[in-house]
Structure 1
Amino acid sequence: MSKKPYGMICPITRVCEILEPRWTIAIIVALWAGNTKFNDIRREIGSISPGLLTKRLRELEGLGLVERIPRLAVIQAAGA
């Protein structure tokens, strides 16, 4: 008999698997507190490296928990 992955057995276990990697909960709390820019999230959390923050944000985005909205560069008319 093969074992079922925990996520198939219990939804709570699946949530624990998502939140388990280091910094994930801190990132979610920072986002919930209104920090939406990368550097604001880093400042709120403290000692997370930029690479690890990027990795965790992409994981959360892949799970559909975070939506990335890229900033647009817009050329404005001179003097406007």
Structure 2
Amino acid sequence: MDIKSKIGIRIKELREQKDMSQKDLSFFSNIDRSYIASVENGQRNISIVNIEKVSIALGISLKEFFNNDKFDNDSRSC
């Protein structure tokens, strides 16, 4: 799985855990909803600046965002 897909899946997981819609996340992060949808689907390459905006909107740190098995360095998991 490529990094774009991993990050998109992670955003969707965290958003759903917070019971937020894409529209809610869009509002609180000041990022267009269609952009969020395309990131969640692994179609867009999100910048670290926008990952930070998403993390803030979700009420989590960047450390917590990346603290997930999806982001380990084991090349066999890609």
Output the TM-score relative to the length of structure 2. Answer: 0.33
Task: Say which structure, 1 or 2, has more relative contact order (CA 8 Å, 6+ apart).
Answer: 2
Report which of the two has the higher share of helix.
2
Q: Compare CA radii of gyration and give the structure with the larger one.
A: 1
